Amino acid sequence: MNRAWTIGNRVHLLENGEEFFPRVLAAIEEARAEVLIETFILFEDKVGTRLHAALVAAAKRGVRVELTVDGYGSPDLSPAFVAALVDAGARLRVFDPKPRLLGMRTNVFRRLHRKIVVVDERFAFVGGINFSADHLADFGAGAKQDYSVEIEGPAVAEIRAFAIAALERPAAPDDWTQPAANLPSAGKARVRFVTRDNTRHLTDIERQYVAAIRAATDEVLIANAYFLPSYRLLHELHRAAGRGVRVGLILQGAPDMPRVANAARRLYPYLIAGGLRIHEYCERPLHGKLATVDDEWSTVGSSNLDPLSLSLNLEANVLIRDRDFNALVRDRLQRLIDHHCQEVRGDSLPPRTPWRTLSGLVVFHALRHLPAWAGLWPAHTPHVAVAQPGTPSSSGALPEPEPEPGDVDDRRR
């Protein structure tokens, strides 16, 4: 189950790999008991090899190391990379690995998209940053702009309980009801950990966005990489602007997936006519998924506002109620708007032609039904392959075991 708010936490916003990777690696290097990691992408680049070295060293000194990667996002881990981990005593799991077909990856949908790190029940990290070098500025023009949050305090026990349950049931870790450790207060932030899966928590993250927007009285500011939200979210944004709330969106202006950005732009006339302000981040690809509402509520996580994240992927966000943290998030986003974005104005939109009007209407109304359609296909049972000592296989070619007893049959969707 998704838990209630916990009080007494310290939260720290981490922007891009330059802030995120050093903090995670330092926590792992200091670990004495346990390191739990879920990530969509782990590459064998300079970031992945540094993480690999830290995990191998931790496992060799007796730390429990549990690493889960997604079979689509991390398809090419080499035999040597895998063997060094498992031979050191770490456990490597690959969520839903599938063989390639004509060189193409086939496990496109229902991805493990969560990005979670928990170390020794002292630190938890939740956000959108993968373990890959394209989250560092020196990667070049394709470097991603992204965020994570570091947490200390009672909320860490909640996130750890979820991560432990996910080791057995990664597609639907519902049984994370064991009593949380009574961790001491570390600050004044209230934190709520919210997840999305394909069984009991189909719309939990979306509902939190809707509730926050519905309650907004002053400002809603959302930065999201892939923006094709449900009709319900669009409706609430429109309603908020209609009652005088300042509603701002920071979206991709230098997209890494142009087709997705072009689809989102079909919504611009409707959004701008409704009073929303749209800012396109143009310096490099935006990969962040965060938002603030009024002076207190904010969220950071892995969930985009598109059909994949809202209807198919396994996602995790944290909600935070803390005025200082909220002000920091808002200041960071305002800095993007002031220095790295271009505002999209109504008079700058392409002229309305019959084709553009028709295609815009199709996109708009399809959003009302797309989540349900997306959830119907493909219907299969995701499983997890566990790398064994001495296995010569890469993550993309690990043996495909029978689904474990706890695995979830997505055909129930």
Whether residue 55 lies inside any domain: the answer is: yes
Torsion from C-alpha of 392, 398, 401, 407, nearest 10 degrees: 140
Q: Which residue of the set 70, 294, 407, 410 is catalytic?
A: 294
Q: Which residue of the set 70, 120, 197, 410 is catalytic?
A: 120
Whether residue 325 lies inside any domain: the answer is: yes
Question: Measuring CA to CA, which residue among 198, 155, 158, 154 is closest to residue 178?
Answer: 158
Q: Which residue of the set 115, 144, 279, 340 is catalytic?
A: 115
Q: Is 340 a catalytic residue?
A: no
Backbone angles phi, psi at 197, to 5 degrees: -140, -170
Q: Which residue of the set 144, 201, 279, 287 is catalytic?
A: 287
The whole-number average pLDDT for the span 206-215 is 97
The contacts of residue 310 (CB under 8 Å, 6+ apart) are 196, 203, 205, 206, 229, 230, 303, 304, 371
**Could you give the CA distance from residue 141 to residue 167 in angstroms, rounded to a whole number?**
36
Whether residue 47 lies inside any domain: the answer is: yes
Express each pLDDT in 373-389 by its tens digit: 666 665 556 778 888 77
What are the distances in angstroms from CA 64 to CA 37, 67, 322, 380? 11, 10, 33, 31
Tokens 């994570």 belong to which residue? 148
Q: Is 188 a catalytic residue?
A: no
CATH number of the domain at 82, please: 3.30.870.10
Whether residue 221 lies inside any domain: the answer is: yes
Whether residue 357 lies inside any domain: the answer is: no
The whole-number average pLDDT for the span 124-145 is 97
Average pLDDT of every residue of the chain:
87
Whether residue 195 lies inside any domain: the answer is: yes
- What is the reported pTM? 0.90
The whole-number average pLDDT for the span 100-128 is 84
Backbone angles phi, psi at 374, to 5 degrees: -60, -35
Q: Which residue of the set 98, 113, 135, 383 is catalytic?
A: 113
Q: What is the pLDDT of residue 270?
A: 86
Whether residue 210 lies inside any domain: the answer is: yes
Q: What is the pLDDT of residue 168?
A: 83
Q: Is 289 a catalytic residue?
A: yes
Q: Three-state SS for 205?
A: helix
What are the distances in angstroms from CA 62 to CA 65, 96, 124? 9, 28, 20
Q: Is the pLDDT of residue 149 over 80?
A: yes
Q: Is the pLDDT of residue 409 over 70?
A: no
Give the range of the structural domain holding residue 258, as residue numbers without chain letter.
Answer: 6-351+380-397
Q: Three-state SS for 376?
A: coil
Q: What is the pLDDT of residue 104?
A: 61
Q: Is 238 a catalytic residue?
A: no
Can you list the alpha helix ranges (DSSP code H) found in 171-230? 204-215
The whole-number average pLDDT for the span 168-186 is 73
Q: What is the pLDDT of residue 307?
A: 85
Q: Is the pLDDT of residue 181 over 70?
A: no
Q: Is 287 a catalytic residue?
A: yes
Express each pLDDT in 215-257 by its tens digit: 999 999 999 999 989 889 999 999 999 999 999 999 999 888 7
Express each pLDDT in 29-84 by its tens digit: 999 999 999 999 999 999 999 999 999 999 999 999 999 999 999 988 999 999 99
Count of domains forming the chain = 1
Whether residue 42 lies inside any domain: the answer is: yes
Q: What is the pLDDT of residue 13?
A: 98
> Around Cβ 76, how many Cβ atoms within 10 Å?
13
